[in-house]
Amino acid sequence: MKSLLLVSYEYPPIGGGAANACRQYAQLLAARGTKVVVLTSAYADLPLREEHGDLVIVRIPAGRKDQHKSNPFQMFCFMLSAFLRLGNLVQVYKPDHALIFFVSPFGALGLALKWFHNVPFSVFARGGDIPGFVDLTDAYHAVLAPLTSLILKNTTNVFSNGMFLKELADKLLVDKEAINIPNGLEPRLAKTKKVNDKLKLLFVGRMVKKQKNFLVLPEILQQASELDLHLYIVGDGPDFDLLLAKIAEYKLESRVTILGWLNRQELETYYQLCDLLIFPSIVEGVSNVLVEAIASGMYVLANDIPDTRFFIENTGRGKLLKTNEASEYVALIKELIEDPSAIEAGISQETLQTLSWEASAGELESYLWG
């Protein structure tokens, strides 16, 4: 049996999209016959070690205080703890390969595994860990550029969860290309929709204005004042006050429900409750929220960016906007109110299986073990 050490500083119930992807791959690869050992951050009273058949979860001190957010100090603490545990983990579990979630700085753990323990490693790019994904991290990546270059030079494979990230990674790679393995759909989430009189909209995301373009949300409600719409907002972040101020300015409180961060089970409730996902991100890889909402039967109105386009075009579960402006969203919402059949049509079982996490894990497995 092959043994894989999967390193991710976040693993459910902590973290967001990357943490969920890590869990999906860990569980599915273990089910497919690989011994998977996950090294991740300790949090609250979570057990420091769990074993579920061929899946082992090892949690190490990282100073983690919040379920849905971290900071550079906590990431540093995780890396320091991980460096101290690598030797023991290699001795006990004898991994044939390591898969490190995020390129920089966590890929440095892969360097330690390769140089000191003779364990080859691959990295999985997820977003801000690659230079150029968002300009907010430009200074960070400028400082870490030598480390990033060293990681990419020594890794066996560079995986990305979207074509945009692959293009960014390929600019940094000399002797290989990144391998795109997008997130998968979950067939178990599939439910049919029946649109009622009030159309329910959903937005889920971290409130970073330059990336998520979330200020279009109150503009949509303001311009569609004659429509019976209700917006559910899931998330938080550094620019959240801007959204709250705009909601108050337009007096939209009765038409908006702000939910903060939700765990996975709670979020699934709103995938089932709501009809339309509003997805105005300016920069995005393959979003877990996008694929989960589509799998749940939601219809998506989204900004036209590469990896969002892939899922909408290949599932037929949404519309891509040309302008990403409120007026275009409102026009499309009016069309769907007049004819909700597109929302209610749902997603086919064939599409769910073709683009499933199971298919994604199978592709990842083929590159890890050949």
Per-residue pLDDT of 8-52, as tens digits, reads: 999 999 988 889 899 999 999 999 999 999 999 999 999 999 999
User: Within this chain, do residues 230 and 100 fall inside the same structural domain, yes or no?
Assistant: no
User: Within this chain, do residues 11 and 152 fall inside the same structural domain, yes or no?
Assistant: yes
**Exposed/middle/buried for 194, CB within 10 Å: 0-12, 13-18, 19+?**
exposed
| Count of domains for the chain | 2
User: Within this chain, do residues 112 and 221 fall inside the same structural domain, yes or no?
Assistant: no
The one-character DSSP state at 191 is -
Which CATH number is 284's domain given? Answer: 3.40.50.2000
Among residues 275, 91, 92, 308, which one has the least CA distance to residue 197? 275
**Residue 133's pLDDT is what?**
74
**Residue 67's pLDDT is what?**
86
The owner of tokens 């909601």 is: 247
User: Within this chain, do residues 234 and 326 fall inside the same structural domain, yes or no?
Assistant: yes
User: Within this chain, do residues 321 and 361 fall inside the same structural domain, yes or no?
Assistant: no
Sheet with 229-234, edge to edge strand ranges: 256-260, 229-234, 199-204, 276-279, 299-303, 318-321
Query: How much is the pTM?
Result: 0.84
**Residue 232's pLDDT is what?**
98
**Residue 138's pLDDT is what?**
67
CA distance 353 to 185: 8
**Under-70 pLDDT residues of the chain:** 134-138, 140-141
**Residue 196's pLDDT is what?**
80
Per-residue pLDDT of 129-166, as tens digits, reads: 787 776 656 676 677 888 999 999 999 999 998 888 89
**Residue 136's pLDDT is what?**
58
CA 322 → CA 263, 304, 337, 346, distances in Å?
A: 32, 7, 20, 24
